[in-house]
Amino acid sequence: MMILRDIAYGVGGLLLAPIWATAMLKTGKWKTDWSGKLLGKATPHLQSPPSKVEGKSFIGRTLLIHAVSVGEVMATRSLVETLETQAPNLRIVVATTTNTGFDRAMILYSDRHHVVRYPLDFSWAVKRFLRTVKPDLVALTELEVWPNFVEACDKRGIPVAVINGRLTERSYNRYLKVKFLIESSFKRLSAAAVQTEDYAKRFKGLGAREDCVHILDTMKWDTAKIDDEVDGTDELGEEFGLDRGKLTVVAGSTGPGEEKLLIESMRELGDVNLVIVPRKPERFNEVAELDERIIRMTDIRNGKAKSGDGSIYLLDTMGELRKAYGLADVVIVGRSFNGLGGSDLIEPIGLGKAVVIGNSYFNFGDAVDAFAEGDGVIVANEGDLAGNLKGLLDDKGKRKVLSENGRAVIRNRQGATQRHANMLLGLLPE
């Protein structure tokens, strides 16, 4: 079966090659570790472990955590910290798919854990990868149930679990069309820790065994740091030259079309600062050209622009979104006004920010519903975005109530990380 999948992947790859090649050349994604992806080489990071790992006395157990990109990497942070405390001798390997996810994992974990590239689902790549990493347990974040990888683990007696599992209705309907190809992979799962009852039903609908599916909520509640200050925020504001006497709106993880909407909304908001943080770095140049008033952080740092020369600021760097949220009086959660399903709103609410999200939030439906029920978020559409923003900017008391309600929701929902840790430790061989 693995050979047949290899053939199918190869044919599909050839058919889509022109599209992929164009996209990768345009975005720069061709600059990646192809030896890791195509050949399953989990090096050099396993060959040259961090100094803090070298002296560690392992007890022969290795946990491999697969986190696709930045969002998944951040979602595993509290889990890794919990496992470090409860199983200090456990060897942890974090595998990522995207370049941005890899970079974030290196920042978070490389001083004490191995970080590697996750292979494409070709049989030769996954087999070599597993021979190198030698995991005793695999944890797949959110979904990523790739058939060849799961089958290769099954043949080696390696249990595979899904953590922080989620499966939207849209994705579920797509998977149903190829259920005959993937059902065996879901049946092979040793456990699936999912976020909601709806997700549980969908996992079972694709073949996951009834006794293996557990509703544990999302670990993102636990990754939310309830802080009033963020390290580096003041320095970021000084670099931009923000007039801190003005109110500041920060739009995080924005997607196509949203930046223009935000800039147009500024006309109704009066004299405020707008900080835009696009989700994807390949869009930085595109966003910078939308308005001549936009000041880019990279231009400031390279000496090409002066701080404080505008009222619209573009944070065209990676890894500084949290600092930007620290500047905000109001946060707008991106990818929610253009049909892309939203972005993480738990982090800015944990920082005590008044948050507005669009009405496309299917990727974070449970979280948005929880905040909405607790009066901890405002859900808006394009037409009333400016009005909602103005209402919040004009009323400090309203912003405070919104943020306090949101934090209360977070506190009430925390605890999923410990439940995930208990499940994984129970699956590890003695």
Q: What is the pLDDT of residues 192-231, one digit of tens each?
A: 999 999 999 999 999 999 999 999 999 999 988 899 999 9
Domain presence at residue 197:
yes
Confidence of residue 38 (pLDDT cuts 50, 70, 90): low
Question: In this model, does residue 48 exceed pLDDT 80?
Answer: no
pLDDT at 254: 98
- The parent domain of residue 383 ranges over 233-413
Confidence of residue 16 (pLDDT cuts 50, 70, 90): low
Identify whether residues 161 and 262 lie together within a single domain. Answer: no
pLDDT at 308: 78
Average pLDDT, the chain: 90
pLDDT at 54: 46
Any idea what the CATH number is for the domain that residue 214 is in?
A: 3.40.50.11720
The stretch 150-167 carries a mean pLDDT of 97
Domain presence at residue 216:
yes
Say how far apart CA 9 and CA 1 lie, in whole Å. Answer: 12
Question: In this model, does residue 53 exceed pLDDT 50?
Answer: no
Question: In this model, does residue 49 exceed pLDDT 60?
Answer: no
Domain presence at residue 260:
yes
Identify whether residues 49 and 135 lie together within a single domain. Answer: yes
pLDDT at 51: 43
Identify whether residues 273 and 199 lie together within a single domain. Answer: no
pLDDT at 47: 46
Identify whether residues 203 and 337 lie together within a single domain. Answer: no
Any idea what the CATH number is for the domain that residue 334 is in?
A: 3.40.50.2000
b/e per residue, 111-149, with b = 16+ CB within 10 A? eebbbbbbbbbbbebbbbbbebbebbbbbbbbbbbbbbb
Identify whether residues 49 and 169 lie together within a single domain. Answer: yes
Identify whether residues 46 and 170 lie together within a single domain. Answer: yes
3-state secondary structure labels for all residues of the chain: CHHHHHHHHHHHHHHHHHHHHHHHHHHCCCCCCHHHHHHCCCCCCCCCCCHHHHCCCCCCCEEEEEECCHHHHHHCHHHHHHHHHHCCCCEEEEEECCHHHHHHHHHHHCCCCEEEECCCCCHHHHHHHHHHHCCCEEEEECCCCCHHHHHHHHHCCCCEEEEEECCCHHHHHHHHHCHHHHHHHHHCCCEEEECCHHHHHHHHHCCCCHHHEEECCCCHHHHCCCCCCCCCHHHHHHHHCCCCCCCEEEEEEECCCHHHHHHHHHHHCCCCEEEEEECCHHHHHHHHCCCCCEEEHHHHHCCCCCCCCCCEEECCCCCCHHHHHHHCCEEEECCCCCCCCCCCCHHHHHCCCEEEEECCCHHHHHHHHHHHHCCCCEEECHHHHHHHHHHHHCCHHHHHHHHHHHHHHHHHHCCHHHHHHHHHHHHCCC
Choose between 50 and 34: higher pLDDT. 34
Domain presence at residue 21:
no
What does the pLDDT look like over 334-375, one tens digit per residue? Answer: 999 999 999 999 999 999 999 999 999 998 998 999 999 999
Say how far apart CA 109 and CA 271 lie, in whole Å. Answer: 41
Q: How many CA atoms lie within 13 A of 293 on its CB side?
A: 11
The stretch 164-186 carries a mean pLDDT of 94
Domain presence at residue 14:
no
Residues 218/78, Cβ–Cβ less than 8 Å: no
Identify whether residues 272 and 339 lie together within a single domain. Answer: yes
Domain presence at residue 389:
yes
Identify whether residues 249 and 130 lie together within a single domain. Answer: no
Identify whether residues 148 and 210 lie together within a single domain. Answer: yes
Question: In this model, does residue 50 exceed pLDDT 60?
Answer: no
Identify whether residues 135 and 194 lie together within a single domain. Answer: yes
Residues 374/178, Cβ–Cβ less than 8 Å: no
Domain presence at residue 335:
yes
- Provide the domain count of the chain: 2
> In the chain, what percentage of residues exceed pLDDT 90?
77
pLDDT at 430: 73
Cα–Cα nearest to 317, from 239, 229, 205, 392: 239
Identify whether residues 302 and 269 lie together within a single domain. Answer: yes
Amino acid at 155: K
Residues 6+ apart with CB under 8 A from 6: 122, 123, 124, 148
Domain presence at residue 10:
no
What does the pLDDT look like over 62-109, one tens digit per residue? Answer: 999 999 999 899 999 999 999 999 999 899 999 999 888 999 999 999
Identify whether residues 152 and 103 lie together within a single domain. Answer: yes
Look up the pTM and report it.
0.80
The answer for 245, left when phi > 0, alpha when psi is -120 to 50, beta otherwise, is alpha
